[in-house]
Chains A and B, each alone.
Chain A
């Protein structure tokens, strides 16, 4: 009968199906013992450093995605960008890319689409820095783009500051926080991740209670008992 499929075609169909299944199983790691998320929770799982693990989770398992595991902007370029975008230490950085005028469009928060979690931008070839204060929604109130390098009139002002490590009071002790925490309370937003400046990347991002060991410096004076 015509409905019967010839053995050769059946063989091809079966082998295609098998190949398809094998490919799918490989992609979804069925041959491995646990799904990747569980493995990462397992304290004994490999020695994959946190960033790599995060990137893997982010990438899914497709290695031909255009999103690189490491930022394509070299670390010294990231550092020079850092300084270039800020007038002084703690200044709100200028926006180094083209922006829409509309901040929020029916609840859709444009800036935070990339800056909430530090997504990768293909045209910037960089990971977006994570906003340490995403609860402030009126971004363009403080962050403005740089539309020209030209000045109106010359100025004496120089963007001259250096990021320095907080002082270590004893050899090996945890450095103090050398900057104000106003609008910068989320440590990991700047001290960890692919957009972070190399110099300040932290060696132990998994310890989330940062202020247990690192404290601010509200004064440089020492304690003196009050005179009676």
Chain B
């Protein structure tokens, strides 16, 4: 299982529209800012297929200006790290 987080910026269509669009995508959770035009996006997927699906759906959004990747965590890697420490 992999979890990734981004900071997302909306296009001229606005933050409201972006949030509505993002909520529709399966595997995506959001946290919007109270005072700035920006929203945090967290994607969760188990397989490559899911990852590609989410990527495509995000690309198709006209309300999304850009996504800045912040964090990517892989479950197996985490477990291995913990075991090796």
Asked if A and B touch directly (CB within 8 angstroms), the answer is no
Binding site for B on A (CB under 8 A): none
